[in-house]
Structure 1
Protein backbone atom coordinates (compact mmCIF):
# COMPACT_ATOMS: atom_id res chain seq x y z
CA UNK A 1 0.00 0.00 0.00
CA UNK A 2 1.21 3.52 -0.82
CA UNK A 3 0.26 5.84 2.06
CA UNK A 4 2.07 8.86 0.68
CA UNK A 5 0.84 9.25 -2.90
CA UNK A 6 1.50 12.87 -3.90
CA UNK A 7 2.88 13.55 -0.40
CA UNK A 8 4.48 16.98 -0.12
CA UNK A 9 6.48 17.16 3.13
CA UNK A 10 6.50 20.50 4.95
CA UNK A 11 9.87 22.21 5.11
CA UNK A 12 10.10 21.83 8.90
CA UNK A 13 8.88 18.21 8.98
CA UNK A 14 11.91 16.93 10.93
CA UNK A 15 12.95 20.07 12.81
CA UNK A 16 14.45 19.39 16.26
CA UNK A 17 14.81 15.68 15.48
CA UNK A 18 17.97 13.59 15.68
CA UNK A 19 18.00 10.75 13.17
CA UNK A 20 20.54 7.97 12.67
CA UNK A 21 21.02 6.66 9.14
CA UNK A 22 23.02 3.49 8.51
CA UNK A 23 24.71 3.07 5.16
CA UNK A 24 24.63 6.84 4.68
CA UNK A 25 27.68 7.10 2.43
CA UNK A 26 26.01 6.39 -0.90
CA UNK A 27 22.80 5.52 -2.72
CA UNK A 28 19.55 5.66 -0.79
CA UNK A 29 21.31 6.33 2.51
CA UNK A 30 23.01 9.42 1.13
CA UNK A 31 19.77 10.66 -0.45
CA UNK A 32 17.87 10.13 2.80
CA UNK A 33 20.53 11.90 4.88
CA UNK A 34 20.35 14.96 2.65
CA UNK A 35 16.54 14.89 2.46
CA UNK A 36 16.20 14.58 6.25
CA UNK A 37 18.70 17.40 6.79
CA UNK A 38 16.87 19.61 4.29
CA UNK A 39 13.72 19.13 6.36
CA UNK A 40 15.35 20.17 9.61
CA UNK A 41 16.88 17.04 11.16
CA UNK A 42 20.29 16.62 12.71
CA UNK A 43 21.53 13.48 10.97
CA UNK A 44 24.03 10.94 12.28
CA UNK A 45 25.84 9.46 9.30
CA UNK A 46 26.84 5.84 9.75
CA UNK A 47 28.88 3.80 7.29
CA UNK A 48 32.08 1.82 6.82
CA UNK A 49 34.01 4.26 4.61
CA UNK A 50 34.89 7.53 6.27
CA UNK A 51 35.65 9.33 3.02
CA UNK A 52 32.15 8.66 1.67
CA UNK A 53 30.61 9.89 4.92
CA UNK A 54 32.76 13.00 4.79
CA UNK A 55 31.49 13.73 1.28
CA UNK A 56 27.87 13.54 2.48
CA UNK A 57 28.78 15.66 5.50
CA UNK A 58 30.20 18.32 3.17
CA UNK A 59 27.09 18.24 0.98
CA UNK A 60 24.86 18.89 3.99
CA UNK A 61 27.17 21.63 5.29
CA UNK A 62 27.10 23.31 1.88
CA UNK A 63 23.30 23.48 2.10
CA UNK A 64 23.57 25.45 5.34
CA UNK A 65 21.62 22.85 7.30
CA UNK A 66 22.15 21.50 10.81
CA UNK A 67 25.67 20.15 11.25
CA UNK A 68 25.67 16.36 10.85
CA UNK A 69 27.74 13.84 12.79
CA UNK A 70 29.82 10.97 11.39
CA UNK A 71 29.97 7.58 13.13
CA UNK A 72 31.90 4.90 11.19
CA UNK A 73 31.33 1.25 12.12
CA UNK A 74 31.75 -2.01 10.21
CA UNK A 75 28.49 -3.85 10.86
CA UNK A 76 29.93 -7.16 9.70
CA UNK A 77 32.38 -7.11 12.62
CA UNK A 78 30.32 -5.16 15.17
CA UNK A 79 29.61 -6.63 18.60
CA UNK A 80 26.90 -5.91 21.14
CA UNK A 81 29.37 -3.66 22.93
CA UNK A 82 29.95 -1.64 19.73
CA UNK A 83 26.23 -0.96 19.39
CA UNK A 84 26.09 0.03 23.05
CA UNK A 85 28.94 2.48 22.56
CA UNK A 86 27.17 4.01 19.56
CA UNK A 87 23.99 4.51 21.57
CA UNK A 88 26.03 5.94 24.45
CA UNK A 89 27.73 8.42 22.12
CA UNK A 90 24.33 9.59 20.83
CA UNK A 91 23.05 9.99 24.38
CA UNK A 92 26.11 11.98 25.47
CA UNK A 93 26.14 14.30 22.45
CA UNK A 94 22.42 14.84 21.90
CA UNK A 95 20.54 13.34 24.83
CA UNK A 96 17.90 12.07 22.41
CA UNK A 97 17.19 10.01 19.31
CA UNK A 98 14.02 10.45 17.28
CA UNK A 99 14.49 7.96 14.48
CA UNK A 100 16.61 5.34 12.74
CA UNK A 101 16.74 4.50 9.07
CA UNK A 102 18.31 1.06 8.74
CA UNK A 103 19.65 1.30 5.22
CA UNK A 104 23.03 -0.47 5.34
CA UNK A 105 23.06 -3.63 3.24
CA UNK A 106 25.43 -6.33 2.11
CA UNK A 107 25.04 -8.88 -0.66
CA UNK A 108 26.97 -11.02 -3.06
CA UNK A 109 25.93 -11.48 -6.66
CA UNK A 110 23.06 -13.91 -7.33
CA UNK A 111 24.16 -17.54 -7.26
CA UNK A 112 22.74 -21.02 -6.62
CA UNK A 113 22.32 -21.89 -2.95
CA UNK A 114 24.63 -24.88 -3.29
CA UNK A 115 27.52 -22.56 -4.18
CA UNK A 116 26.95 -20.14 -1.29
CA UNK A 117 29.28 -20.58 1.67
CA UNK A 118 28.68 -20.51 5.39
CA UNK A 119 30.89 -17.43 5.67
CA UNK A 120 28.78 -15.62 3.07
CA UNK A 121 25.57 -16.46 4.91
CA UNK A 122 27.03 -15.34 8.21
CA UNK A 123 27.98 -11.96 6.72
CA UNK A 124 24.58 -11.60 5.04
CA UNK A 125 22.72 -12.30 8.27
CA UNK A 126 25.04 -10.12 10.33
CA UNK A 127 24.69 -6.96 8.24
CA UNK A 128 21.16 -7.31 6.86
CA UNK A 129 19.30 -8.74 9.85
CA UNK A 130 21.28 -8.97 13.09
CA UNK A 131 22.70 -5.43 12.92
CA UNK A 132 19.28 -3.73 12.57
CA UNK A 133 17.98 -5.75 15.51
CA UNK A 134 21.01 -5.11 17.69
CA UNK A 135 21.27 -1.39 16.92
CA UNK A 136 17.57 -0.81 17.55
CA UNK A 137 17.82 -2.66 20.85
CA UNK A 138 20.84 -0.64 21.95
CA UNK A 139 19.09 2.64 21.10
CA UNK A 140 15.72 1.65 22.53
CA UNK A 141 15.93 3.66 25.78
CA UNK A 142 16.55 6.81 23.74
CA UNK A 143 13.78 5.99 21.27
CA UNK A 144 11.26 5.23 24.01
CA UNK A 145 12.00 8.62 25.59
CA UNK A 146 11.30 10.51 22.34
CA UNK A 147 7.86 12.07 21.91
CA UNK A 148 7.50 10.61 18.40
CA UNK A 149 10.12 8.06 17.32
CA UNK A 150 10.09 6.27 13.97
CA UNK A 151 12.18 3.31 12.83
CA UNK A 152 12.36 2.46 9.14
CA UNK A 153 13.76 -0.91 8.12
CA UNK A 154 14.84 -1.39 4.52
CA UNK A 155 13.20 -4.52 3.16
CA UNK A 156 13.60 -5.96 -0.34
CA UNK A 157 11.47 -7.42 -3.10
CA UNK A 158 13.79 -10.45 -2.88
CA UNK A 159 12.74 -10.98 0.73
CA UNK A 160 9.08 -10.21 0.06
CA UNK A 161 8.90 -12.66 -2.84
CA UNK A 162 11.87 -15.04 -2.51
CA UNK A 163 13.10 -16.60 -5.73
CA UNK A 164 15.98 -18.62 -7.08
CA UNK A 165 19.59 -17.45 -6.71
CA UNK A 166 19.06 -14.78 -4.04
CA UNK A 167 19.77 -17.24 -1.20
CA UNK A 168 20.97 -15.76 2.06
CA UNK A 169 20.10 -12.19 1.09
CA UNK A 170 16.45 -13.15 0.53
CA UNK A 171 16.35 -15.05 3.82
CA UNK A 172 17.80 -12.10 5.74
CA UNK A 173 15.38 -9.63 4.16
CA UNK A 174 12.43 -11.95 4.78
CA UNK A 175 13.60 -11.92 8.38
CA UNK A 176 13.40 -8.11 8.40
CA UNK A 177 9.70 -8.32 7.53
CA UNK A 178 9.12 -10.76 10.40
CA UNK A 179 11.14 -8.55 12.75
CA UNK A 180 8.99 -5.52 11.87
CA UNK A 181 5.74 -7.41 12.44
CA UNK A 182 6.88 -8.85 15.77
CA UNK A 183 8.31 -5.60 17.07
CA UNK A 184 5.28 -3.55 16.05
CA UNK A 185 3.06 -6.05 17.85
CA UNK A 186 5.16 -5.79 21.01
CA UNK A 187 5.10 -1.98 20.86
CA UNK A 188 1.38 -1.85 20.14
CA UNK A 189 0.54 0.07 23.32
CA UNK A 190 3.35 2.64 22.92
CA UNK A 191 1.87 5.66 21.12
CA UNK A 192 5.23 7.38 20.64
CA UNK A 193 7.15 4.51 19.00
CA UNK A 194 6.60 2.86 15.63
CA UNK A 195 8.42 0.63 13.18
CA UNK A 196 7.75 -0.02 9.48
CA UNK A 197 9.62 -1.40 6.48
CA UNK A 198 10.09 0.11 3.04
CA UNK A 199 10.78 -1.93 -0.09
CA UNK A 200 12.66 0.46 -2.40
CA UNK A 201 12.18 -1.66 -5.51
CA UNK A 202 14.13 -0.93 -8.67
CA UNK A 203 16.31 2.16 -8.15
CA UNK A 204 19.69 3.33 -9.41
CA UNK A 205 22.04 2.57 -6.53
CA UNK A 206 25.60 1.19 -6.31
CA UNK A 207 24.13 -2.06 -4.94
CA UNK A 208 21.82 -2.39 -7.95
CA UNK A 209 24.74 -1.70 -10.30
CA UNK A 210 26.59 -4.71 -8.83
CA UNK A 211 23.71 -7.15 -9.32
CA UNK A 212 22.38 -5.74 -12.63
CA UNK A 213 25.46 -4.33 -14.38
CA UNK A 214 23.89 -4.24 -17.84
CA UNK A 215 21.05 -1.85 -17.03
CA UNK A 216 20.86 1.68 -18.41
CA UNK A 217 21.09 3.65 -15.18
CA UNK A 218 19.61 6.91 -16.41
CA UNK A 219 16.24 5.33 -17.16
CA UNK A 220 15.87 3.89 -13.65
CA UNK A 221 14.21 5.73 -10.76
CA UNK A 222 16.84 7.69 -8.83
CA UNK A 223 17.23 7.66 -5.02
CA UNK A 224 15.84 11.20 -4.74
CA UNK A 225 12.64 10.02 -6.44
CA UNK A 226 11.88 7.77 -3.47
CA UNK A 227 12.40 10.36 -0.74
CA UNK A 228 8.73 11.37 -0.29
CA UNK A 229 8.09 7.90 1.14
CA UNK A 230 11.09 8.05 3.45
CA UNK A 231 10.15 11.51 4.69
CA UNK A 232 6.55 10.49 5.23
CA UNK A 233 7.45 7.50 7.38
CA UNK A 234 10.09 9.38 9.38
CA UNK A 235 7.85 12.38 10.10
CA UNK A 236 4.84 12.78 12.34
CA UNK A 237 2.32 12.47 9.49
CA UNK A 238 2.77 8.68 9.70
CA UNK A 239 2.10 8.35 13.44
CA UNK A 240 -0.77 5.92 12.92
CA UNK A 241 1.14 3.58 10.63
CA UNK A 242 2.80 0.68 12.45
CA UNK A 243 4.12 -2.71 11.41
CA UNK A 244 3.56 -2.16 7.69
CA UNK A 245 5.63 -3.48 4.78
CA UNK A 246 5.36 -0.70 2.21
CA UNK A 247 6.32 -0.75 -1.45
CA UNK A 248 8.15 2.49 -2.10
CA UNK A 249 6.97 3.96 -5.39
CA UNK A 250 9.19 6.58 -7.01
CA UNK A 251 7.73 10.02 -7.51
CA UNK A 252 9.21 12.02 -10.37
Structure 2
Protein backbone atom coordinates (compact mmCIF):
# COMPACT_ATOMS: atom_id res chain seq x y z
CA UNK A 1 0.00 0.00 0.00
CA UNK A 2 2.74 2.48 0.90
CA UNK A 3 4.67 1.64 -2.26
CA UNK A 4 1.53 2.23 -4.31
CA UNK A 5 0.92 5.60 -2.63
CA UNK A 6 4.52 6.62 -3.17
CA UNK A 7 4.51 5.71 -6.85
CA UNK A 8 1.04 6.97 -7.72
CA UNK A 9 0.37 9.76 -5.20
CA UNK A 10 -0.63 12.44 -7.70
CA UNK A 11 -2.85 10.13 -9.74
CA UNK A 12 -4.42 8.74 -6.54
CA UNK A 13 -5.22 12.23 -5.27
CA UNK A 14 -6.65 13.25 -8.61
CA UNK A 15 -9.04 10.32 -8.69
CA UNK A 16 -10.61 11.42 -5.39
CA UNK A 17 -12.46 14.45 -6.80
CA UNK A 18 -14.49 15.17 -9.96
CA UNK A 19 -12.15 17.99 -11.02
CA UNK A 20 -9.16 15.77 -10.33
CA UNK A 21 -10.57 13.18 -12.71
CA UNK A 22 -11.25 15.94 -15.25
CA UNK A 23 -7.63 17.02 -14.89
CA UNK A 24 -6.42 13.53 -15.77
CA UNK A 25 -8.66 13.59 -18.83
CA UNK A 26 -7.34 17.02 -19.85
CA UNK A 27 -3.76 15.79 -19.52
CA UNK A 28 -4.57 12.72 -21.61
CA UNK A 29 -6.48 14.67 -24.26
CA UNK A 30 -4.51 17.91 -24.59
CA UNK A 31 -1.14 17.93 -22.82
CA UNK A 32 0.62 16.17 -25.68
CA UNK A 33 -0.40 18.70 -28.31
CA UNK A 34 2.28 20.83 -29.99
CA UNK A 35 3.21 23.81 -27.84
CA UNK A 36 2.02 27.35 -28.47
CA UNK A 37 -0.74 26.46 -30.94
CA UNK A 38 -4.12 28.11 -30.43
CA UNK A 39 -7.23 25.97 -30.03
CA UNK A 40 -10.50 25.57 -28.16
CA UNK A 41 -10.77 23.41 -25.02
CA UNK A 42 -14.13 22.57 -23.38
CA UNK A 43 -14.25 22.18 -19.59
CA UNK A 44 -16.92 22.39 -16.88
CA UNK A 45 -19.50 23.78 -19.29
CA UNK A 46 -17.11 26.40 -20.70
CA UNK A 47 -15.36 26.55 -24.06
CA UNK A 48 -12.11 28.51 -23.86
CA UNK A 49 -9.86 29.72 -26.61
CA UNK A 50 -6.34 28.88 -25.39
CA UNK A 51 -2.99 29.90 -26.91
CA UNK A 52 -1.20 26.86 -25.46
CA UNK A 53 -2.90 23.63 -24.37
CA UNK A 54 -0.33 22.50 -21.81
CA UNK A 55 -0.29 25.88 -20.07
CA UNK A 56 -4.08 25.73 -19.82
CA UNK A 57 -4.01 22.22 -18.31
CA UNK A 58 -1.64 23.43 -15.60
CA UNK A 59 -3.95 26.40 -15.00
CA UNK A 60 -6.89 24.03 -14.57
CA UNK A 61 -4.90 22.00 -12.06
CA UNK A 62 -3.98 25.00 -9.93
CA UNK A 63 -7.31 26.81 -10.17
CA UNK A 64 -10.03 24.16 -10.35
CA UNK A 65 -8.42 20.97 -9.04
CA UNK A 66 -6.19 22.34 -6.27
CA UNK A 67 -8.40 25.43 -5.74
CA UNK A 68 -5.38 27.53 -4.86
CA UNK A 69 -7.48 30.71 -5.01
CA UNK A 70 -10.28 29.62 -2.66
CA UNK A 71 -10.77 31.85 0.37
CA UNK A 72 -13.36 32.22 3.10
CA UNK A 73 -15.52 35.29 3.49
CA UNK A 74 -18.37 36.35 5.73
CA UNK A 75 -20.04 38.66 3.20
CA UNK A 76 -22.21 37.92 0.17
CA UNK A 77 -20.40 40.27 -2.22
CA UNK A 78 -16.65 39.94 -1.72
CA UNK A 79 -14.26 42.21 -3.59
CA UNK A 80 -11.67 40.44 -5.75
CA UNK A 81 -8.76 42.01 -7.62
CA UNK A 82 -7.19 39.64 -10.15
CA UNK A 83 -3.81 40.97 -11.31
CA UNK A 84 -2.66 38.88 -14.24
CA UNK A 85 -5.97 37.39 -15.37
CA UNK A 86 -4.43 35.78 -18.47
CA UNK A 87 -7.13 34.08 -20.61
CA UNK A 88 -9.79 34.17 -17.88
CA UNK A 89 -9.54 30.74 -16.22
CA UNK A 90 -9.22 32.33 -12.77
CA UNK A 91 -12.16 34.65 -13.51
CA UNK A 92 -14.34 31.67 -14.42
CA UNK A 93 -13.43 30.12 -11.06
CA UNK A 94 -14.04 33.31 -9.08
CA UNK A 95 -17.41 33.95 -10.74
CA UNK A 96 -18.49 30.33 -10.26
CA UNK A 97 -17.36 30.14 -6.62
CA UNK A 98 -18.36 33.67 -5.54
CA UNK A 99 -21.28 34.48 -7.87
CA UNK A 100 -22.03 37.91 -6.37
CA UNK A 101 -18.44 39.09 -6.08
CA UNK A 102 -17.31 42.41 -7.48
CA UNK A 103 -14.28 41.56 -9.61
CA UNK A 104 -11.65 43.80 -11.17
CA UNK A 105 -9.24 42.03 -13.54
CA UNK A 106 -5.97 43.27 -15.02
CA UNK A 107 -4.12 41.84 -18.03
CA UNK A 108 -1.02 43.47 -19.51
CA UNK A 109 -0.48 41.50 -22.71
CA UNK A 110 -2.67 42.96 -25.51
CA UNK A 111 -2.90 39.66 -27.40
CA UNK A 112 -3.81 37.66 -24.29
CA UNK A 113 -6.22 40.43 -23.30
CA UNK A 114 -8.09 39.92 -26.57
CA UNK A 115 -8.39 36.18 -25.85
CA UNK A 116 -9.56 37.01 -22.31
CA UNK A 117 -12.32 39.29 -23.62
CA UNK A 118 -13.42 36.66 -26.13
CA UNK A 119 -13.57 33.92 -23.49
CA UNK A 120 -15.58 36.02 -21.05
CA UNK A 121 -18.10 37.03 -23.71
CA UNK A 122 -18.45 33.58 -25.30
CA UNK A 123 -18.99 31.89 -21.93
CA UNK A 124 -21.31 34.43 -20.34
CA UNK A 125 -18.89 35.34 -17.56
CA UNK A 126 -20.36 38.73 -16.83
CA UNK A 127 -20.00 41.81 -14.63
CA UNK A 128 -16.21 41.83 -14.52
CA UNK A 129 -14.33 45.11 -14.83
CA UNK A 130 -11.42 44.25 -17.16
CA UNK A 131 -8.47 46.64 -17.29
CA UNK A 132 -6.21 45.90 -20.27
CA UNK A 133 -3.13 47.40 -18.65
CA UNK A 134 -0.11 46.20 -16.73
CA UNK A 135 -0.20 46.36 -12.95
CA UNK A 136 2.80 48.44 -11.98
CA UNK A 137 4.12 51.16 -9.63
CA UNK A 138 2.94 54.05 -11.81
CA UNK A 139 0.68 54.82 -14.75
CA UNK A 140 3.48 55.81 -17.11
CA UNK A 141 3.63 52.51 -19.02
CA UNK A 142 5.80 49.40 -18.68
CA UNK A 143 8.45 48.03 -21.03
CA UNK A 144 6.99 44.60 -21.59
CA UNK A 145 7.78 41.42 -23.56
CA UNK A 146 4.97 39.26 -24.88
CA UNK A 147 6.75 35.92 -24.40
CA UNK A 148 4.81 32.77 -25.27
CA UNK A 149 1.48 31.55 -23.82
CA UNK A 150 1.59 32.62 -20.15
CA UNK A 151 5.24 33.76 -20.24
CA UNK A 152 4.72 37.47 -20.96
CA UNK A 153 6.71 39.64 -18.57
CA UNK A 154 8.91 42.68 -18.11
CA UNK A 155 11.88 40.29 -18.40
CA UNK A 156 10.91 38.62 -21.68
CA UNK A 157 12.91 39.71 -24.72
CA UNK A 158 10.20 38.60 -27.18
CA UNK A 159 8.01 41.27 -28.75
CA UNK A 160 9.04 44.02 -26.39
CA UNK A 161 6.93 47.16 -26.36
CA UNK A 162 5.67 49.85 -24.03
CA UNK A 163 2.25 48.85 -22.70
CA UNK A 164 -0.14 51.03 -20.67
CA UNK A 165 0.06 50.57 -16.91
CA UNK A 166 -1.88 51.34 -13.75
CA UNK A 167 -0.59 51.86 -10.24
CA UNK A 168 -2.12 49.06 -8.17
CA UNK A 169 -1.75 51.12 -5.00
CA UNK A 170 -4.36 53.56 -6.33
CA UNK A 171 -6.90 50.76 -6.77
CA UNK A 172 -6.25 49.37 -3.29
CA UNK A 173 -6.76 52.74 -1.66
CA UNK A 174 -10.16 53.14 -3.32
CA UNK A 175 -11.53 50.12 -1.45
CA UNK A 176 -12.48 49.79 2.20
CA UNK A 177 -12.20 46.01 2.02
CA UNK A 178 -10.54 43.60 -0.43
CA UNK A 179 -11.36 39.98 0.21
CA UNK A 180 -8.92 38.56 -2.32
CA UNK A 181 -5.93 40.10 -4.08
CA UNK A 182 -4.34 37.77 -6.62
CA UNK A 183 -0.97 38.85 -8.02
CA UNK A 184 0.47 36.80 -10.87
CA UNK A 185 2.42 39.37 -12.87
CA UNK A 186 5.52 37.47 -13.94
CA UNK A 187 8.32 39.17 -12.04
CA UNK A 188 6.81 42.58 -11.31
CA UNK A 189 5.34 41.39 -8.01
CA UNK A 190 8.11 42.57 -5.68
CA UNK A 191 8.19 46.14 -7.00
CA UNK A 192 4.40 46.33 -6.92
CA UNK A 193 4.07 44.94 -3.41
CA UNK A 194 6.72 47.29 -2.03
CA UNK A 195 4.89 50.21 -3.63
CA UNK A 196 1.58 48.97 -2.16
CA UNK A 197 2.88 48.14 1.31
CA UNK A 198 1.02 50.95 3.09
CA UNK A 199 -2.18 50.15 1.15
CA UNK A 200 -2.54 46.50 2.20
CA UNK A 201 -4.38 47.14 5.46
CA UNK A 202 -7.78 46.22 4.02
CA UNK A 203 -6.58 43.14 2.10
CA UNK A 204 -7.75 39.97 3.80
CA UNK A 205 -6.38 37.28 1.48
CA UNK A 206 -3.44 37.55 -0.88
CA UNK A 207 -2.10 35.12 -3.47
CA UNK A 208 1.31 35.90 -4.95
CA UNK A 209 3.06 33.94 -7.66
CA UNK A 210 6.71 34.76 -7.03
CA UNK A 211 9.25 34.61 -9.87
CA UNK A 212 13.03 34.89 -9.81
CA UNK A 213 14.73 35.62 -13.12
CA UNK A 214 18.27 34.59 -13.94
CA UNK A 215 20.68 37.50 -13.69
CA UNK A 216 18.39 39.47 -11.38
CA UNK A 217 18.35 39.51 -7.54
CA UNK A 218 16.08 37.07 -5.72
CA UNK A 219 13.67 39.05 -3.56
CA UNK A 220 11.65 36.37 -1.76
CA UNK A 221 12.93 37.54 1.63
CA UNK A 222 11.77 41.08 0.91
CA UNK A 223 8.25 39.82 0.17
CA UNK A 224 8.02 37.59 3.25
CA UNK A 225 9.28 40.39 5.52
CA UNK A 226 6.71 42.72 4.01
CA UNK A 227 3.93 40.21 4.73
CA UNK A 228 5.14 39.67 8.29
CA UNK A 229 5.40 43.40 8.96
CA UNK A 230 1.84 43.97 7.75
CA UNK A 231 0.12 41.29 9.81
CA UNK A 232 -0.16 38.37 7.35
CA UNK A 233 0.43 34.70 7.96
CA UNK A 234 1.69 32.93 4.87
CA UNK A 235 2.28 29.54 3.30
CA UNK A 236 4.80 28.91 0.52
CA UNK A 237 4.47 26.10 -1.99
CA UNK A 238 6.35 25.05 -5.11
CA UNK A 239 5.36 22.53 -7.75
CA UNK A 240 8.91 22.30 -9.07
CA UNK A 241 9.95 19.16 -7.15
CA UNK A 242 13.48 19.92 -8.32
CA UNK A 243 15.85 17.02 -7.75
CA UNK A 244 19.47 17.86 -6.83
CA UNK A 245 18.82 21.63 -6.61
CA UNK A 246 22.46 22.40 -5.84
CA UNK A 247 23.28 20.96 -9.25
CA UNK A 248 20.07 21.64 -11.16
CA UNK A 249 19.81 25.43 -11.08
CA UNK A 250 17.08 25.80 -13.68
CA UNK A 251 13.32 25.94 -13.31
CA UNK A 252 11.96 23.28 -15.71
CA UNK A 253 14.86 23.98 -18.06
CA UNK A 254 13.78 27.61 -18.27
CA UNK A 255 16.42 29.92 -19.71
CA UNK A 256 14.91 33.03 -18.09
CA UNK A 257 13.66 31.97 -14.66
CA UNK A 258 15.23 29.80 -11.96
CA UNK A 259 12.50 29.86 -9.30
CA UNK A 260 8.73 30.07 -9.09
CA UNK A 261 6.75 29.81 -5.87
CA UNK A 262 3.15 30.29 -4.76
CA UNK A 263 2.67 32.39 -1.63
CA UNK A 264 -0.74 32.29 0.03
CA UNK A 265 -1.15 34.97 2.71
CA UNK A 266 -4.08 35.71 5.00
CA UNK A 267 -4.99 37.66 8.09
CA UNK A 268 -5.51 35.44 11.17
TM-score (norm 1): 0.47
Q: Which has the higher helix share?
A: 1
Structure with the greater relative contact order (CA < 8 A, sep ≥ 6): 1 or 2? 1
Structure having the higher Rg: 2
Q: Which has the higher strand share?
A: 2
